[in-house]
């Protein structure tokens, strides 16, 4: 009890008077998902970058991110990691999210962290083959779904004629192998897991991001606009530490040190991580990539009135 | 003697099912990495128990469950007594209770997160809400079943209304109240784990989801087995307590031995 009170007091003092920061760490609650994309945050925690900025990070892991963005609005979190499409949909509905940092992106060419898998011998190789069939993504109307639909369109299919079903990543391989679905958009490390365990029955038929929008953005960190306006220096410190974590992770791509870090926080066996393709870890968010996402969303039924992307990028993400 | 034999046959069935599980995984009847043999599951369970991770998680989950059980149970008994003894309370609140009772508690977790956050406050509240209704209903039933003779005797001896409630009505309705608690206990464990699965990094529920996302089938089934054993143990322990608290009820032979 007294510890909690001390932290609460510390937070207030830290926010009100930067001069006395030395004694009082700022406690920030961050909503994350247990995926590879949040490696920089965990790196920054473990390497002491947040401590160096006098910030104490309290992560709250939510599978699928269902409580992430609503929790940000409700004040449960100060920072939320989420995919670009979910964030933009919130902004479209008038929620004052601002991008404070990039988190994960796709590389310019394969291998990439998202893949479309189908059953071997099913003859399905394109979006056209999937018309009238069932394709899974972990959630509707998120980045996984959007890139999956863009790939269907690009490969000659009518995305409206493909039935999309929601299947959580951990259950996708079984559902696909068992014939309940005909294709699925997987994200790592579930691609590696599916090919490792169901490799005799499943195969990769596409890299949906590389084939439709190479080098595009996947996920970001966001905060509320009014919080940013009130406590700009807290988020400056947060972003500095997080970006040092991104440097740490980017410098160790394919390295054992990075794999061990991810295995530690996600509990995914390290042998499986060795087979997984990692996302890039960008520090910034650009007008160009947000414009692309909004344009793609509009093409696939998620259009509407979006603010100018430049107004959504906080200074910490303008790198 | 016959009872013992019957128990043994029940345990035999459990062992048989576990054996079937082992065989189905080992012999490839169910060929999926998400269906590991039970021996591998038990090994994973033992490993995480030895590291101290599982005991800590179970402790946290049981603590939240117990807190919710206590708060919701106490409220259920008090409100139940009010319902049964004060007609105007029943008339005023019965519609609200009847409307709220059928709502599945997991459905109200997201809005509760908005008001109560992601930590113990929310989880204990959710459990308390779950426990409240069965205890309330059984308390009302119990009070209605108190024998009129007992109450009349109390009145004859000039015992005041409040003392009659505490010393006659409450003990006499205890068998019903405890039956309500027994139902609530099973629900409380389920709901605690569900709440932990939805949000926050606490307890057995969060461990279960994390292992799902890590694709570690052994740990997932280890958790499921653990929850089964935990639920069974809680029920047995509760039966023991119940027998001690209302031995007179069993002595009357109104209820067959469970």
B94 and B27 together in one domain: no
CA distance A59 to chain B (A): 8
**Contact at 8 Å (CB) between A80 and A71?**
yes
Q: Say if CB A144 and CB A251 are below 8 A apart.
A: no
Give the model's pLDDT for residue A66. 57
Q: Domain end: A208, A230, A253, which one? A: A208
pLDDT of A19 strictly over 80: no
Please give the average per-residue pLDDT across A70-95, as a whole number: 91
- Which residue in B117, B118, B213 is closest to A63 by CB distance? B213
Choose between B1 and A49: higher pLDDT.
Answer: A49
Nearest to A69 by CA among A280, A263, A221: A221
Beta bridge partners of A60: A31
Would you state the pLDDT for residue A64? 54
Closest to B64 measured CA to CA, from B113, B128, B129: B128
Please check whether residue B67 is in contact with residue B124, taking contact to mean a CB–CB distance below 8 angstroms: yes
B49 and B159 part of one domain: yes
Element (H, E) at A104: strand A97-105
Residue B200: list chain A partners with CB under 8 A. 60
What band does A130 get if pLDDT is binned at 50, 70 and 90? very high
Encode A200-235 in three state secondary structure: CCEEEEECHHHHHCCCCEEEEEEEEHHHHHHCHHHH
CA B217 to centroid of chain Cα atoms: 26
We report the CATH number of the domain holding residue A201 as 3.40.190.10
Q: What is the arrangement of strands in the sheet containing A114-119, beginning at the earlier edge strand? A: A163-166, A134-137, A183-187, A114-119, A202-206
Distance of CA A216 to the CA centre of its chain: 12
Q: Among all residues of chain A, which has the CA nearest to that of B115?
A: A74
Give me the domain span that covers residue A127: 117-208
Inside any domain, residue A144 = yes
CA A152 to chain centre: 22
Confidence of residue A199 (pLDDT cuts 50, 70, 90): confident
Which residues from B are below 8 Å from A170, CB to CB? 212-213, 215
B216 shares contact with chain A (CB less than 8 Å)? yes
Residue B17 CA to residue B131 CA, distance in Å, equals: 32
Reading the block at residue A212, the tokens are 């439709």
Task: Determine the distance in angstroms separating the CA of A200 from the nearest CA of chain B, rounded to an integer.
Answer: 11
Long-range contacts of B253-258 (CB under 8 A, 24+ apart): B255/B175
Indicate whether A11 belongs to any domain.
no
Name the residue of chain A whose CA is nearest to B216's CA. A268
Residue B208 domain-assigned? Answer: yes
pLDDT at A319 over 50: yes
Peptide bond preceding A111 in cis form (omega within 30 of 0): yes
Asked if B118 is an interface residue toward chain A (Cβ–Cβ < 8 A), one would say yes
Looking at the structure, tell me whether residues A196 and A280 fall in a common domain. no
Q: How far apart are the first and last CA of chain B?
A: 16
Instruction: Say if B198 is an interface residue toward chain A (CB within 8 Å).
Output: yes
A161 and A143 assigned to the same domain: yes
pLDDT tens readout for residues A238-285: 999 999 999 999 999 989 999 999 999 888 999 899 999 999 999 999
Buried b (16+ CB within 10 A) or exposed e, B203-241: bbbbbbbbbbbbbbbbbbbbbebbbeebeeebeeeeeee
Read off the tokens for A279.
Answer: 């996302």
DSSP A277: P
pLDDT at A302 over 80: yes
Instruction: Mark yes or no for CB contact B110/A67 under 8 Å.
Output: yes
Helix (H, G, I), strand (E, B) or coil at B217: helix
Q: Are residues B47 and B165 in the same domain?
A: yes
Q: What is the pLDDT of residue B4?
A: 64
Chain A residues whose CB is inside 8 A of the B219 CB are: 267
Shared domain for B4 and B98, answered yes or no, is no
Tokens of B105: 């508690």
Q: Which residues of B touch A76 (CB under 8 A)?
A: 113, 117-118
Domain span including residue B103: 36-251
In sequence order, what DSSP letters do the residues of B140-173 get, joined into one string?
Answer: HHHHHTS-HHHHHHHHHTT--HHHHIIIIIHHHH
Assess if residue B258 is contained within a domain.
no
| Local confidence band at A13 (pLDDT 50, 70, 90 cut-offs) | very low
- List pLDDT tens digits, range A136-174: 998 888 999 999 999 999 999 999 999 999 998 888 999
Q: Is A8 exposed, middle or buried (0-12, 13-18, 19+ CB in 10 A)?
A: exposed
**Pick from A208, A235, A256: which residue ends a domain?**
A208
State which residues of chain B have pLDDT below 70.
1-7, 253-258
Which of A157, A177, A208 terminates a domain? The answer is A208
Residues B23, B131 within the same domain: no
With 60 as the cut, is the pLDDT of residue A16 above it?
no
ipTM of the complex in this document: 0.74
C-beta separation of A169 from A187 below 8 A: yes
Indicate yes or no: CB of B200 within 8 angstroms of CB of A60.
yes
Q: Cα(A107)–Cα(A277) distance, rounded to whole angstroms? A: 10
Same domain, B184 and B123: yes
Tell me the two tokens of residue B199: 């949000």
The DSSP bridge pattern shows strands A97-105 and A217-224 to be antiparallel
The whole-angstrom distance between B200's CA and the closest CA on chain A is: 5
Q: What is the pLDDT of residue B1?
A: 55
For residue B83, is it within any domain? yes
User: In Å, what is the CA distance from B85 to each residue of A75, A81, A235, A242, B165?
Assistant: 43, 53, 58, 61, 9
Taking the C-alpha atoms of residue B206 and residue B195, their distance in angstroms, rounded to an integer, is 9
Task: Assign residue B43 the CATH number of its domain.
Answer: 1.10.3720.10
Instruction: Chain A: give the shortest CA distance to residue B211, in Å.
Output: 7
Predicted confidence at residue A20, as pLDDT, reads 47
A97 and A228 fall within a common domain: yes
CA distance A23 to B226: 44
Whether residue A274 is found in the same domain as residue A186: no
Q: Check if B206 contacts A (Cβ < 8 Å).
A: yes
Domain count across chain B: 2
Query: Torsion over CA of B104, B208, A195 and A110, rounded to 10 degrees?
Result: 90
- Say what the pLDDT of residue A14 is: 45
* Mean pLDDT, chain A, whole residue set: 88
Q: How many CA atoms lie within 13 A of B90 on its CB side?
A: 13
Confidence (pLDDT) at B33: 72
Dihedral-angle region of residue A151 (phi above 0 means left; psi in -120 to 50 means alpha; beta otherwise): alpha
Spatial CB neighbours of A204, under 8 Å, sequence gap ≥ 6: A115, A116, A117, A191, A195
């Amino acid at each position: 009890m007294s510890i909690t009170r001390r932290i609460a007091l510390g937070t207030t003092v830290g926010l009100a008077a930067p001069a006395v920061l030395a004694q009082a760490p700022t406690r920030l609650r961050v909503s994350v998902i247990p995926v590879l994309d949040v490696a920089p945050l965990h790196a920054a925690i473990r390497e002491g970058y947040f401590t160096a900025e006098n910030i104490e990070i309290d992560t709250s892991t939510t599978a699928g991110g269902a409580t992430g963005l609503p929790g940000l609005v409700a004040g449960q979190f100060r920072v939320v990691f989420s995919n670009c499409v979910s964030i933009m949909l919130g902004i479209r509905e008038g929620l004052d999210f601002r991008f404070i940092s990039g988190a994960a992106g796709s590389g310019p060419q394969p291998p990439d962290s998202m893949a479309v898998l189908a059953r071997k011998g099913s003859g399905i190789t394109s979006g056209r083959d999937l018309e009238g069939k069932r394709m899974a993504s972990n959630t509707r109307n998120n980045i996984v779904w959007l890139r999956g639909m863009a790939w269907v369109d690009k490969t000659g299919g009518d995305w409206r004629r493909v039935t999309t079903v929601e299947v959580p990543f951990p259950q996708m391989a079984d559902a696909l192998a068992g014939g309940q679905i005909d294709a699925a958009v997987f994200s790592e490390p579930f691609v590696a897991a599916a090919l490792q365990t169901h490799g005799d029955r499943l195969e990769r038929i596409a890299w949906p991001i590389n084939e439709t929008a190479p080098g595009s953005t996947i996920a970001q960190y966001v905060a509320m606009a009014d919080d940013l306006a009130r406590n700009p220096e807290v988020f400056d410190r947060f972003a500095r530490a997080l970006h040092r974590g991104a440097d740490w992770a980017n410098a160790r791509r394919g390295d054992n040190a990075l794999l061990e870090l991810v295995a530690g926080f996600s509990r995914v066996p390290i042998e499986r991580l060795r087979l997984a393709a990692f996302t890039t870890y960008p520090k910034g968010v650009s007008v160009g990539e947000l414009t692309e996402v909004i344009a793609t969303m509009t093409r696939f039924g998620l259009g509407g009135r979006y603010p100018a992307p430049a107004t959504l990028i906080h200074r910490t993400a303008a790198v | 003697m016959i009872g013992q034999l019957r128990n043994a046959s029940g345990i035999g069935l459990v062992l048989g099912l576990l054996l079937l599980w082992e065989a189905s995984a080992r012999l490839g009847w169910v060929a999926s990495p998400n269906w590991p043999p039970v021996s591998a599951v038990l090994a994973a369970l033992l490993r995480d128990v030895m590291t101290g991770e599982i005991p800590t998680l179970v402790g946290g989950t049981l603590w939240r469950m117990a807190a919710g059980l206590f708060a919701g149970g106490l409220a259920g008994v008090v409100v139940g007594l009010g319902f049964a003894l004060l007609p105007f309370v029943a008339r005023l609140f019965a519609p609200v209770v009847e409307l709220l009772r059928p709502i599945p508690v997991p459905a109200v977790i997201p809005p509760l997160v908005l008001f109560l956050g992601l930590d113990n406050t929310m989880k204990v509240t959710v459990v308390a809400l779950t426990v409240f209704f069965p205890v309330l209903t059984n308390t009302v039933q119990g009070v209605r079943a108190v024998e009129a003779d007992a109450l009349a005797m109390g009145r004859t001896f000039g015992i005041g209304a409040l003392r009659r409630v505490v010393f006659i009505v409450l003990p006499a309705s205890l068998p019903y109240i405890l039956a309500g608690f027994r139902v609530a206990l099973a629900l409380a464990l389920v709901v605690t784990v569900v709440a932990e699965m939805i949000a926050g990094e606490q307890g057995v529920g969060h461990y279960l989801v994390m292992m799902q996302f890590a694709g570690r089938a052994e740990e997932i089934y280890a958790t499921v087995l653990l929850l089964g054993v935990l639920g069974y143990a809680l029920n047995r322990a509760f039966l023991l307590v119940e027998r001690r608290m209302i031995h007179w009820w069993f002595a009357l032979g109104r209820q067959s031995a469970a």
